[in-house]
Amino acid sequence: MAKKRALITGITGQDGAYLAKLLLDKGYEVFGAARRASEMNVSKLQDVGAYEGIEYVSLELQEITNIFRAIEKIRPDEIYNLAAQSFVGASFEMPLFTSDVTALGPLRILEAIRQIDRSIKFYQASSSEMYGKVQAVPQNENTPFYPRSPYAVAKLYGHWITVNYRESYDIFACSGILFNHESPLRGLEFVTRKITHSAVRIKEGLQKELCLGNLDAKRDWGYAAEYVEAMWRMLQAPAPADYVVATGQTHSVRDFVDAAFAHLGMELSWSGSGTEEVGTDKASGKVIVRVDPKFFRPSEVDMLLGDNTKARTELNWSPATTFTELVGLMIEHDKKVLAHNGI
Ligand code: NAP
Ligand code: GDD
């Protein structure tokens, strides 16, 4: 039997690397789409051992012509659209760019599928950020959305256009509403990796303080390597649908900081409040965590907590890695990186 062909956009990102590895292991022919750069960032793909097995294609989500060309040429069975301007904080500074890539990007791909071959299955990387100012706790597939950032508004468009093309043109299109998922491959701009990377450096005396924004924000954090399995399962289901993918547990940013330093054998005491809050290392009496208002967002998502019942029952998917294990594996990775690179 011919190998299945999958096209993954956002191949250089965290999820792109884990999904590529998963599909290669399942015997797929994997085509990785990356936007043109003077030097493609392949470190995540190398980390998971997927770099060699992929056929690369240059693809910019803002440019419809190269999307048509890539799909015409590859004729994939499945397309996973993971590419996006994915950093919420940056979306307040680049709302137009974010909208073009993150909202209209999926539309361009869907339109290419509609015109080239409607049997191509499509996965859209939707986000729990769409729940924003949450209208119910926990959030499931029926919870109304209330986006709180240009990123979330753009993702909401991507979600609904996916639903619309499914309903209008009978395309097998699924929207995966994924809650935050992290890993050692997470970009340093996201709070979890910023914390683990800095905690290791502070422990080693290479950095004095970790400056953060809102410590009270709560997220449902899972392990990215497990979440890509849910993406694949959605496209193997008997019928296309939308699914929440989450752990069902929520923790604050402060909890994450505590867990990271605890893994390194350090205990913090917290004092002050709001923008004056600091975390002090109990053993040395030194302030090592400080709130800096520059990391606050113009409008915040205070709390996310997902209800994964549908994914559990219909996809037989469930998360395995606990919050403490996730923090631990990220810290252990950053310790190795530091030992290897010395920075
Ligand atoms: P990520 O590490 O930030 O990766 C984003 C990818 O998109 C990168 O490969 C990036 O390429 C690519 N990209 C950005 N702009 C592009 C453009 N104009 N044209 C083509 N490619 C472009 O994100 P991730 O954590 O893997 O997340 C994957 C997807 O899931 C994203 O759509 C994200 O919004 C969504 N999501 C993530 C989470 C999460 O917690 N991780 C939760 C829900 C939804 P470069 O390397 O060139 O920058
Ligand atoms: N990045 C960052 N940096 N966030 C901070 C900081 C900081 O110094 N201090 C506090 N935070 C808070 C943010 O205000 C937010 O409430 C929370 O930590 C998480 O921020 P991020 O790690 O940047 O992730 P996010 O939740 O905004 O977005 C991520 O998850 C979404 C799914 O809910 C991204 O991966 C999105 O692409 C994804 O859709």
Domains of the chain: 5-183+221-249+305-314 (3.40.50.720), 191-217+252-302+323-341 (3.90.25.10)
Q: Which atom of ligand 2 is nearest to the CA of 178?
A: 32
Task: Say which residues have a Cβ less than 8 Å from residue 29's Cβ, sequence separation at least 6.
Answer: 3, 4, 5, 6, 55
Ligand closest to 186 (CA) is: 1
Q: Which atom of ligand 2 is nearest to the CA of 149?
A: 27
Q: How many CB atoms lie within 10 A of CB 257?
A: 25
C-alpha to C-alpha distances, 138 to 141, 289, 322, nearest whole angstrom = 10, 30, 18
CA distance 307 to 40: 37
**What pLDDT is stored for residue 343 in this prediction?**
66
| Mean pLDDT rounded to a whole number for the chain | 97
Reading phi first (left if > 0) and then psi (alpha if -120 to 50, else beta), residue 277 is in beta
The string of pLDDT tens digits covering residues 163-183 is: 999 999 999 999 999 999 999
DSSP calls for 177-218: EEPPEE-TTS-TTSHHHHHHHHHHHHHTTS-S-EEES-TT-E
DSSP calls for 136-184: SSSB-TTSPP---SHHHHHHHHHHHHHHHHHHHH---EEEEEEPPEE-T
Ligand 2 interacting residues, C-beta cut-off 6 A = 86, 88-89, 127-129, 179-180, 189-192, 194, 212-214, 217, 219, 253, 295, 297, 300-301, 304
Q: Which atom of ligand 1 is nearest to the CA of 10?
A: 9
Q: How many CB atoms lie within 10 A of CB 143?
A: 19
CA distance 236 to 68: 24
The string of pLDDT tens digits covering residues 257-310 is: 999 999 999 999 999 999 999 999 999 999 999 999 999 999 999 999 999 999
What does the pLDDT average to over 194-205?
98
Between helices 253-263 and 191-203, what is the axis angle to 10°? 30
Distance 80 CA to ligand 1 centre (A): 11
